[in-house]
Structure 1
Amino acid sequence: MDDELRRLDRLTGTWKVTGGVTGTTTYEWLDGGHFLVQRGVLDHDGHRVSMTEIIGRDHPFGEEPGTEIKARAYDADGNTLDYVYELDGDTLTIWGGFKGSPGYFRGTFDATGDRLTGDWVYPGGGYHAEMERIA
């Protein structure tokens, strides 16, 4: 596992999610430490969202690993969503689709690392979001 990916270790554990979306989500490493998996059951405006997200570097067979930390989320409704993760100090940015996208989450970890507070921003909307580690 490389240093940039390893910094996402601060997401491991189970989190209570509040704000524009509510529920719980859990992050854990797959064996080998090359991919972080998020599994969650969330409520977004009265719609239940059951999802799994795989976070890591693209590494197609026979090629070098990619330079960005990418993610793909799959939900129970059949949707797939792509993201790019960036962690700079205590600030986490999750870009929707590509780095620099107009849709993104930007949040800051508190001093203990057990609370992440920020906002999802996207054209025509957005919402405040908080996560608190509960396990």
Structure 2
Amino acid sequence: MAREPEPTLEQLNVLVGAWKTTIPSAETQGRTTFEWLEGGGFLIQRSTVERPEYPNAVSVIGATGSDRAFQQHYFDSRGVARIYDMTLRDGIWTLYRDGPDWPQRFVGRFSEDGNTITARLERGTYPGGPLEHDFDMVYSRIL
């Protein structure tokens, strides 16, 4: 059985740039940027939202090196810090955590031209519990 190739940081280039973000159910917008850390090695994600009840965030994304995946280290304006397991394969971007408070999953699907990501976010109510739809989000490339 052939092994899948290890992920390379170059796979993350599909995210690099600026994106308008929309949460249709909340009628709110924001902006997310992805840029390489000076000198490389990590991708930095910065997210802002136009409504004060939603947190602004910064994340650091890097390869794990051993399990064909990435990790995202997330920090937001509420003081929340989380670590997500991440994959980026075949036009699908996933983030997942089964944290001590509750599990979360993000599944984003890239459009054929790579300029739109349609995402579904899910969350559970307890560790190891089932996940339910939380909200949808759309990323539209602006740069």
TM-score class, shorter-chain normalisation, is 0.7 to 0.9
* Kept after mapping to 1: 8 A contact 2:95/2:105: yes
Q: What's the Cα RMSD here?
A: 2.3
1:81–1:27 Cα change, 3 Å: same
Measured against aligned partners, the alpha-carbon deviations of 1:18-77 in whole angstroms (never above 9, x if no partner) come to 125631010001123210000111257x5131211000035xxxxxx4533111111122
* CA deviation after TM superposition for structure 1 residue 111, in Å: 1.1
Unaligned runs of at least 5 residues, structure 1: 59-64
Task: Tell me the TM-score normalised to structure 1 length.
Answer: 0.80
Report percent identity of matched pairs. 27
Deviation at 1:94, TM superposition (A): 1.1
Consecutive unaligned residues of structure 2, counting only runs of 5 or more, are: 1-5, 126-132
Alignment partner, residue 25 of structure 1: 32
Query: Bigger radius of gyration, 1 or 2?
Result: 2
> In the aligned structure 2, how far is the partner of 1:24 from the partner of 1:111?
21
Q: For residue 47 of structure 1, what is the amino acid of its counterpart?
A: E
Cα deviation for residue 97 of structure 1 reads 4.9
CA distance in 1, matches of 2:54, 2:106: 20
Distance 1:93 1:33, change over 3 A: same
**Structure 2: how far apart are the matches of 1:39 and 1:115?**
17
1:54 matched to 2:86? The reply is: no
Aligned length: 125
Q: 1:66 to 1:32 in 2, by over 3 A?
A: farther
- For normalisation by structure 2, the TM-score amounts to 0.76
Change (3 A) 1:96 1:28: same
Moved >2 Å (runs of 4+): 2-5, 65-68
SS of the equivalent of 1:48 reads: coil
Three-state SS of the structure 1 residue aligned to 2:33 is strand
Alpha-carbon distance in structure 2 between the residues aligned to 1:28 and 1:95: 22
State how far apart, in whole Å, the 2-side matches of 1:104 and 1:130 are.
15
The CA deviation at 1:5 is 2.5
SS of the aligned residue for 2:21 comes to strand
Match of 2:139 among 128, 131, 135: 131
